[in-house]
């Protein structure tokens, strides 16, 4: 059992390990049986077993010393000293050797040498284990240092990646905000383009219809009057036939500009209703105010001198006016219809006129 531990057979030779454990079992068995055997028989068995076991253990130690195990050489020397002492003791007990000493003396001498040598073996073994333990500790410390460095590098890399990711997110967020702003501006421009007449630059019919409904609701909720003006260029077909369609388009643009100039409030709206017709919404305006604005516009246009391509263009307009406080969702369209009737009355009565629709008598 001592040999098994010293030579570390568990790690170097499993076959030797099994043999040592079998011999240990036999030794314990003999220790239990020997007290009940005759001395003459027991001494022969004991000598044989001791010599055999010692020989086997010496052989094991020599084999391990040959393969380079450091402690095996000293162990073999100690075992050989004990073996020689046992052989001499055996020969003395058997009467094959005659010496003037007690038979057990050689064994005791061999055992003493073995104990001294084995103490050296144990010291070396302890030193080796201490060095191995120190080496393992150093390796553990080195591994811990590497793990710490790797962890610190990982933390630094994670921090750098986090900063890069945050920077990328900020850049992408900024890009997204810019894109959304540009998209919003483009959408506003598109919405504005969808509500602007391309020729005149004033609102188109679609914008007028939406605004008419909205201002009608405000008039109904606040009980304030709303006025509508329907404007038509007099004898526009003659202008197209005489001066051409480009001059006709120029005339329409000039009328739109002049209408815008006479609408001072931000809430007032002028729009191209269709062809040479324009519609004007005047929120919070009574009939008198609407007629006054209409007359100013009519007079300014009739007195204007419009020249295009060296051609003087005689230009007048007819205006139909209606005004009322809205009392239902259908009322704004009715008010528009009334302004349109007043416009046609102005056209039929000689043009270059302003006519007002009187709702109470259904008259112009």
135 lies in the same domain as 246? no
221 lies in the same domain as 111? no
Within a domain: 181: no
DSSP 66: H
Whole domain around residue 265: which residue ranges?
A: 205-356
Of 144, 174, 195, which marks where a domain is finished? 144
Nearest residue to 73 via CA among 83, 81, 63, 82: 63
The first and second tokens of residue 30, run together, are: 């003999």
Structure confidence at residue 361 as a pLDDT band (50, 70, 90): very low
Contact 4, 21 (CB under 8 A): yes
Rounded Cα distance, 279 and 62, in Å: 123
Of 144, 170, 186, which marks where a domain is finished? 144
212 lies in the same domain as 351? yes
pLDDT over threshold 90, residue 83: no
Within a domain: 188: no
131 lies in the same domain as 8? yes
Within a domain: 125: yes
Nearest residue to 4 via CA among 81, 67, 86, 60: 60
15 lies in the same domain as 127? yes
131 lies in the same domain as 213? no
- What residues pair up with 222 in beta bridges, in sequence order? none
3-class SS of residue 248: helix
Residue 22: how many other CB atoms lie within 10 Å: 10
| C-alpha separations of 192 from 208, 270, 336 in Å | 13, 15, 24
Residue 227 parent element (H or E): strand 225-233
How far the first Cα of the chain sits from its last, in Å, is 134
> Per-residue pLDDT tens for 156-171?
888 888 888 888 898 8
Strands 277-283 and 225-233: antiparallel
Residues 3-15, mean pLDDT to the nearest whole number: 82
What is the reported pLDDT for 143? 92
238 lies in the same domain as 110? no
> Per-residue pLDDT tens for 293-321?
999 999 999 888 888 887 888 889 999 99
Q: How much of the chain exceeds pLDDT 70, in percent? A: 97
pLDDT over threshold 90, residue 282: yes
216 lies in the same domain as 345? yes
Q: b or e along 189-199 (b: 16 or more beta carbons within 10 Å of the residue's beta carbon)? A: eeeeeebbbee
Within a domain: 320: yes
What is the reported pLDDT for 212? 92
Rounded Cα distance, 279 and 63, in Å: 120
255 lies in the same domain as 339? yes
249 lies in the same domain as 130? no
Can you tell me which residue has the tokens 């605004």?
211
> Per-residue pLDDT tens for 110-151?
888 878 887 877 787 778 788 888 899 999 999 999 999 999
Rounded Cα distance, 342 and 231, in Å: 10
pLDDT over threshold 90, residue 355: yes
The first and second tokens of residue 339, run together, are: 């302004």
CATH number at residue 315: 3.30.70.270
Within a domain: 259: yes
What is the reported pLDDT for 279? 93
139 lies in the same domain as 276? no
Within a domain: 260: yes
Active-site hit among 276, 277, 286, 288? 276
Within a domain: 193: no
Q: How much of the chain exceeds pLDDT 90, in percent? A: 29
Within a domain: 179: no
Per-chain mean pLDDT for the chain: 86
Contact 271, 202 (CB under 8 A): yes
Annotated catalytic residue 276: yes
- Beta strands, E only, 33-151: none
3-class SS of residue 302: helix
Rounded Cα distance, 235 and 232, in Å: 9
> Per-residue pLDDT tens for 48-63?
888 888 888 888 888 8
Residues 74-82, mean pLDDT to the nearest whole number: 80
Q: Please count the structural domains in the chain.
A: 2
**The CA-based dihedral angle spanning residues 24, 30, 31, 33, taken in that order and rounded to the nearest 10 degrees:** 150
Contacting residues for 60 by C-beta, under 8 A, at least 6 apart: 3, 7, 9, 13, 16, 19, 20
300 lies in the same domain as 211? yes
Please write down the HEC assignment for all residues of 204-245: CHHHHHHHHHHHHHHHHHHCCEEEEEEEEECCHHHHHHHHCH
Half-sphere exposure of 62 (CA within 13 A, CB side): 8
């Amino acid at each position: 059992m001592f040999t098994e531990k010293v030579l570390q057979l568990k790690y170097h030779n499993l076959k030797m390990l099994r043999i040592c454990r079998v011999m240990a079992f036999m030794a314990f068995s003999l220790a239990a049986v020997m007290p009940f055997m005759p001395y003459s028989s027991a001494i022969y068995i004991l000598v044989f077993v001791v010599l055999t076991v010692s020989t086997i253990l010496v052989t094991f130690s020599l084999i391990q010393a040959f393969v380079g195990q450091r402690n095996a050489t000293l162990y073999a020397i100690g075992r050989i000293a004990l073996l020689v002492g046992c052989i001499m003791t055996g020969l003395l007990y058997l009467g094959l050797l005659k010496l003037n000493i007690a038979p057990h003396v050689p064994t005791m001498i061999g055992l003493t040498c073995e104990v001294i040598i084995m103490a050296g073996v144990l010291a070396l073994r302890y030193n080796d284990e201490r060095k191995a333990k120190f080496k393992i500790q150093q390796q553990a410390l080195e591994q811990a240092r590497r793990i710490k460095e790797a962890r610190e590098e990982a933390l630094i890399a994670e921090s750098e990646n986090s900063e890069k990711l945050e920077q990328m997110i900020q850049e992408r967020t900024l890009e997204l905000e810019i894109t959304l702003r540009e998209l919003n501006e483009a959408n506003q421009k598109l919405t504005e383009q969808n509500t602007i007449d391309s020729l005149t630059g004033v609102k188109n019919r679609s914008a007028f219809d939406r605004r008419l409904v909205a201002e009608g609701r405000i008039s109904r909720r606040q009980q304030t009057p709303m006025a509508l003006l329907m404007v038509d260029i007099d004898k526009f077909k003659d202008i197209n036939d005489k001066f051409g369609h480009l001059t006709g388009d120029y005339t329409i643009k000039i009328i739109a500009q002049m209408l815008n100039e006479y609408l001072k409030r931000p809430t007032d709206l002028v729009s191209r209703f269709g062809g040479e017709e324009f519609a004007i919404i005047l929120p919070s305006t009574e009939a008198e105010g609407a007629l006054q604005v209409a007359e100013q516009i009519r007079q300014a246009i009739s007195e204007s001198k419009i020249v295009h391509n060296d051609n003087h263009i005689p230009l007048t307009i007819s205006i139909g006016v209606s005004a009322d406080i809205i009392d239902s969702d259908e009322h704004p369209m009715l008010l528009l219809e009334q302004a349109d009737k007043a416009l046609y009355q102005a056209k039929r009565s000689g043009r270059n006129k302003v006519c007002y629709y009187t709702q109470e008598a259904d008259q112009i």
